[in-house]
Copies of this chain bind each other. A is one copy, B any other.
């Protein structure tokens, strides 16, 4: 049992999610197809349509999945945070542009062996299903944001989601002061929220002026009253904090 944890400790945090339920002999097999890749902030991991001979799990940093129209309009359709998975079984080509938003380390698995391994490891297959369903829920939550929320609500929602994830990792109470470094430029935020970077900047200024957030430098966000910010997202928030 400690064996399992120790092995997977090479891929910190929740990459463990991928293999925590596997037995040691299976883990050894996973190790044979595993290697690491690093990217600098701004580098492209793959372009949509490129052949992708690996699947990967994010170890540290953030990657974004995006789609761009011919005239340059782009929409970020997903962020990959540590422990998130990239690549789809049975598909050889990337569906989206994948870009390192911050410096990024990924734990990669060669496609063929990984797929074969998955086919005979039910734990892993069901874990993949679970992760995919979570991503689907996240995408649908984002559809509500993109289709129906105001610019102000979009910014508040983004900060609440990042702040919540951050607080969860640090096991902090959610009603104290929460602070985090924004891992996105104004432009990336705009592309994620379906806004322009000017609107993002303006709405951040508004929230700051109203005391709902503070800025420390350009990138660090402090949320003095998490509940108050949540009230600006337009979401029902009677439920639990981690949803």
Contact = CB atoms under 8 A, between A and B. Distances in A.
Interface of A: 65, 67, 69-71, 73-75, 77-78, 88-90, 95-96, 119, 122, 125-126, 128-130, 132-133, 135-137, 139-144, 146-148, 193-194, 234-236
A129 to B, nearest CB: 5
Given A67-B140, A70-B236, A143-B143, 12 more contacts: A69-B148, A70-B234, A75-B144, A90-B130, A95-B140, A119-B126, A122-B125, A125-B129, A129-B132, A139-B139, A146-B147, A146-B194
A129 B95 contact: no
A194 B73 CA distance: 18
A126 B124 CA distance: 11
Contacts of A142: 143
Contacts of A78: 140
A81 B238 CA distance: 32
Task: State how many copies of this chain the complex holds.
Answer: 2
Contacts of A193: 147
17 contacts: A65-B140, A69-B148, A69-B234, A70-B234, A73-B148, A74-B148, A75-B143, A77-B143, A78-B140, A89-B129, A132-B132, A136-B136, A136-B139, A143-B143, A143-B146, A146-B147, A146-B194
Nearest to A190: B147
Contacts of A74: 148
Q: Which 8 A-B pairs have the closest CB atoms?
A: A147-B194, A146-B146, A77-B140, A139-B139, A75-B144, A75-B147, A73-B148, A146-B147
Contacts of A234: 69-71, 73
Given A89-B129, A125-B129, A129-B128, A140 B96 contact: yes
A104 to B, nearest CB: 20
Contacts of A95: 137, 140
Nearest to A66: B144
A146 B194 CA distance: 8
Nearest to A234: B69
User: Which has the most chain B C-beta neighbours within 10 Å: A125, A144, A146, A147?
Assistant: A147
